[in-house]
Amino acid sequence: MAKVGNTSRLNLADGSIDRIVTDPPWGNYNGMPSGDLKALYQDFLRETQRVLKPGGVAVTLSGNTGLDGLIRGSELKLLKNIPILVSGKKATIFKLQK
């Protein structure tokens, strides 16, 4: 069953999800200062680690170049990163595994 929610505050039990697919904000979003973007991505990675089952996979599309460093500092394993262009902007698809 697919669920839609805010990946920085998921109302899901620990270790209950097989897969996450997300496209978090790339920059200023709904008045969010750009400095808060790093905190948003840190919260996203923390929640992803928490709710994924062992071996679970998360796929995220991001234009945030700092996400690489945040992933390295997490418990998630980077399986693949694919650089792409989205409407002429550089982005990356990240495939992560718990």
Tens digit of pLDDT per residue, the chain (98 long)? 555 666 667 788 999 999 999 887 766 555 656 567 778 888 889 999 999 999 999 999 988 767 778 888 888 999 999 999 988 988 999 999 99
Give pTM, 2 decimals. Answer: 0.81
Q: Say if 55 falls within a structural domain.
A: yes
Q: How many CA atoms lie within 13 A of 72 on its CB side?
A: 5
Model pLDDT, residue 82: 94
In a domain, 7, yes or no: no
Range list of β-strands (E), 15-88: 17-22, 52-62, 77-86
Specify the residue for token string 């650089």.
83
Count structural domains, the chain. Answer: 1
**Which domain, by its residues, includes 70?**
17-90
Token pair, residue 93, equals 């698809």
